[in-house]
Every structure is written in structure tokens, then in C-alpha cells.
Amino acid sequence: MDYQPNKIAYVTGASSGIGEALVSKLLEEGYYVIGLSRSTISLERNFEHHAIDLSNIDAVQKFEFKHSAPHVLLVNNAGCIGDIKPIGKNTNSGLLAVSNLNALAPQLLINTFLNTYLNKVEEGHILNISSGAGKYPIDSWAPYCASKASLDIFSKTVQEELNTRSYTNWFVHAIAPGVVDTPMQNEIRSSDPNEFKVLQKFIDLKKNGELSDPNSVAQKLYRVIESPQDFHNVVISVRDFS
């Protein structure tokens, strides 16, 4: 980093979909951004990439937040849907990968993030990209649903801990982005119809142009980033605000 920015953001899953769109928005808004994902990306200014497999818990435990600024943001966005099959047909290694990436890696990163910054910088925000799938069951998505439900309650608990200890400039949100036109949705639509009983619904959403564009979702996520104090509920959905 060749200058001292006022605000920095760590964004996981920066290489694709919602994460990629959010990185562009944050750069536009003057953030210095550190993107984390397996595939390397390079952007011209105010961006650096850290290659990491976030389902590898040893690697996540060793990750260090090395940059500092008066305002720090962590966006836990990386996620995967996992094997779209009913429980009993999943592999145990597949279950572990979903749980590690979607639920455990965010917990570890949040722990390290707060340990690094809480008493050292003026304000901080943790934005976890959750899903409606964490609020109700969806056929053949049990590990994914469970991982997002875990992210929601973890977020609520951490915010309560911060409130109880009067960290008034620290915010945590778990936000469901709606159904967004990203490679994850391609993967969902190419799943086995014999294993996924609601496949047609996802095919129809795409066919009927009902998927959100990642850039418009990034704009909405930015509203929460810009004014976290205005979003009093920890668990929210982009559908809650237009």
C-alpha cells in the first residue's frame, strides 16, 4: 500500500458475482480494498488480492489483517451452495466444505478482525452475506441453509456483545441479497432435477428476468455500509429497502 487510506475493506469472494460488483463499488467510493478468493484478480488502483482457499480452516486461522485505517470493513461474502442432493446422498467432505466456507471461515475471520481492530480504530463494520435460505428449508440445500442460519445468529450475537460493551461505532449485519444473477445461480440451474425438487422455480426466475443484477445489489449493500447506524436489525434483506 503506497498511501494511508481513511477506509479499508476486506472482501471475501472478490473474484465473481456479488463480491466482484461490491469491490468495484467500494473502490468507486474511495476504499482501499483487499480481496480474498482462490482465483487471483488484479485491479489497477487501491486494490490488492490475497489468494486463499477459505474452506481450508488452517489457512483461515493463519490469516492476518495487516492494514489499518480509521474505518475498517469486513465483508464475508464468499460462499458455495454445495452438492444439491438430499442428506444421506451428500459426501461428508462436501458437508464440511460448505460449513467451513459459509459458516466457520466467517466466524474465524470476525474473531481475528475484532481482535486486531476493536480497541485500535475509530469505527468498524462487519457485513455478512447471508441468504433467505437461512430462514426456511429448501429441498436438497440442508448444509447451505444451516450455514446461513449459523451466520445470522452469529452476527446477532456479536452485535449484542458489542452493544453490551458500548462499542457504539461498531456494527454487524447479515444481509440476504435476494436471487442474484451470478455463477452460483448457473450452478443451481444446472443441478440434477431428480435430486432438486424446486429446480424449475430457479429456471423460471432466470427465464422471466427476475434475477437481480449484481451491480444493483452492490449499490444496496453500499447503503448499509454507508449508514450502518440506520439499519437497526442485524439480520436484514435487500428486499427490505428499495
Residues that bind ligand NAP (CB under 6 A): 13-19, 37-39, 52-55, 77-80, 101, 129, 131, 176-177, 179-180, 182-185
Q: Which is nearer to ligand NAP, 100 or 123 (CB)?
A: 100
Q: Rounded to the nearest 5 degrees, what angle is found at the Cα of 36, between the Cα atoms of 30 and 41?
A: 80
Cα separations in angstroms, 214 against 107, 169, 203: 25, 28, 18
Residue entry with cell 440476504: 176
Residue entry with cell 445470522: 152
The 8-class DSSP code of residue 237 comes to: E
Q: Which is nearer to ligand NAP, 1 or 51 (CB)?
A: 51
Q: Least Å distance between CB 78 and ligand NAP?
A: 4
Q: Least Å distance between CB 163 and ligand NAP?
A: 25
Q: Which is nearer to ligand NAP, 70 or 183 (CB)?
A: 183
Cell of residue 150, nine digits: 449459523
Q: Which is nearer to ligand NAP, 55 or 155 (CB)?
A: 55
Q: Least Å distance between CB 158 and ligand NAP?
A: 18
Q: Is 121 exposed, middle or buried (0-12, 13-18, 19+ CB in 10 A)?
A: middle
Cell of residue 235, nine digits: 439480520
Q: Least Å distance between CB 20 and ligand NAP?
A: 7
123 within 8 A of 169, measured Cβ to Cβ: yes
Q: Which is nearer to ligand NAP, 69 or 172 (CB)?
A: 172
Q: Least Å distance between CB 154 and ligand NAP?
A: 14
